[in-house]
Amino acid sequence: MTETLTEAEVQAFLSAHPGATGIDMIMPDMCGIPRGKRIGTEAAAKLYRDGVQMPGSTFLLDSTGQNCETIAQGTVDGDPDFPCLGVSGSLTEVPWARQKTAQVIASMSHRDGTPYFADPRHVLDRAVQPLRDMGLTPVSAMELEFYLLDPEPGPDGRPRPAKAPDTGTRQSTTQVYGMEELYDFEAFLVDVEAACQAQNIPADTATSEYGPGQYEINLHHVDDPLLACDQTFLLKRLIKGVARRHGMIACFMAKPFAELAGCGLHVHVSLVDKDGKNTFAGPLDPEVGLPVGPTIRHAVGGLRATMAEGMALFAPNANSYRRFQHGSYAPINRAWGSDNRTVSLRLPDANENAVRVEHRVAGADANPYLVMAAVLSGIHHGLANQIDPGPAEKGDAYAKPQKGLPFRWWQAVDKFEKGKVLPGYLGSEYSKVYAAARRFESDAFQSHISMLDYEWYMRAV
């Protein structure tokens, strides 16, 4: 369970940061968007005593920030408040703010202290419990991809890559892993690194990715999935904040450009037992060429079995589904394999201590807590039922598309709503409101008439 922020933590922070004018209390909503309040430092005691009051519907807003009319939380129930307490270890400075500002993650509970069902942190905590009951601890890390964009759109009104500050030019070619592309935005990356150090976010590698102006930043593995998701949630906010100070937009849309690579949220997971042993490890497996045992096969089997149910979590909005294209490094089936970037579930080349599964389905626009909850639920489902994953894919998985995955938003919501496995891990109440809220946004998006409607149909039909 989440440890609550203490008075000693608050007093130590304020003593070390004199002049701080406010504290950004932030929480991830259903879409992973930070919501909350800025409170004065004189009111900091609320974060560890009675809590800061927030509407329960805060966690269930759509991507535009409005209440979903298809659920009870909001207008229907009178939109009641619940107390929010700070999370221990999350109180830090905000280096990109123009005045001295602090930041803290908060979790919502009922007045008796029981978790509020719609807080994604509590959803994840519930989902990981079955693995804890097995005596297993997930060790995980996430990778985030994003584009750096010019705040001014191009002549066609569409977004475009940001200009490199030193040269004034825009990247126009792929140059994946290009070193010069890192130096194009060296000042930005240096400030990201400094902000990560200030906020205790263990960022690791920065790489130039497959699109012009696209980058990826990886996080270290940690043995607490809640902490791994907190770090991902905070890293995303940090990157956006630093980019804004540099006159750019950091874009985490799954597919901001039709002709370029999309942005993924890759999850790396292994399981260790009470003795700290990696339970995914085993003798050299001739099929995959790695030292893996039956546990990782069962985990992969569970992830394959629950992938269709989880698509509404991995791809939470209309743009998310534009990412799943042939040959795009975004998976289009449930294939798994060893050191193969065309599959959904990749076993990276590693020694027995680092054997893990890389789940490559989710987009960078997804809520990391819900993605992690679905991944760990699938792993436990596979272990508990000893599910065989079938043969590993060799070569190009795009050449063998599989049926069964929903690649349209409404189809994914239907699959999630009718799911037989994930609701048992996430909670039936949360699963119902998630499906209803996602359907509300899907219907609203579908009802919008775009310019393409006029271009294709106005004169032709």
Query: Is residue 222 situated within a structural domain?
Result: yes
For 89-122, write each residue's pLDDT tens digit: 999 999 999 999 999 999 999 999 999 999 999 9
Residue 121 maps to a domain: no
pLDDT at 176: 61
The pTM is what?
Answer: 0.96
Do 394 and 339 lie in one domain? The reply is yes
129: CB partners within 8 A, 6+ apart: none
Note whether residue 235 is domain-resident: yes
Domain span holding position 300: 128-426
What CA dihedral angle connects 125, 414, 368 and 56, to 10 degrees? -60
Is 380 within the bounds of a domain?
Answer: yes
169 contacts 163 by C-beta, under 8 angstroms: yes
Q: The domain spanning residue 209 has which CATH number?
A: 3.30.590.10
Total structural domains in the chain? 2
Task: Report the CATH number that the domain containing residue 461 is assigned in CATH.
Answer: 3.10.20.70
Note the pLDDT of residue 284: 94
Q: Are 62 and 443 in contact (CB under 8 A)?
A: no
Q: Are residues 414 and 458 in the same domain?
A: no
Structural element, H or E, at residue 165: none
pLDDT of res. 78: 87
User: To which residue do tokens 């930070």 refer?
Assistant: 34
Q: Are residues 179 and 248 in the same domain?
A: yes
Residue 328 lies in a domain: yes
Examine residue 123 and state whether it is found in any structural domain, yes or no: no
Q: How many CB atoms lie within 10 A of CB 328?
A: 18
- Please report whether residue 16 resides in a domain: yes
Mind giving me the DSSP string for 406-459?
Answer: --SHHHHHHHHHT-SSHHHHH-HHHHHHHHHHHHHHHHHHHHS--HHHHHHHTT
Q: Are residues 38 and 135 in the same domain?
A: no
Let me know whether 219 and 303 are in one domain: yes
Tell me the C-alpha to C-alpha distance, in Å, between residue 24 and each of 27, 81, 100: 10, 18, 11
Residues 345, 215 share a domain: yes
Co-location of 207 and 304 in the same domain: yes
Closest alpha carbon to 317 in 444, 159, 451: 444
Residue 50 DSSP symbol: T
In a domain, 120, yes or no: no
CB neighbours of residue 46 within 10 Å: 18
402 and 309 housed in the same domain: yes
The length of the chain in residues reads 461
pLDDT in tens, 285-325: 999 999 999 999 999 999 999 999 999 999 999 999 999 98
Residues 209 and 244 in one domain: yes
Residues of the chain below pLDDT 50 = none
- Say if residue 263 is in the same domain as residue 397: yes
pLDDT of residue 177: 59
In this structure, are 255 and 380 located in the same domain?
yes
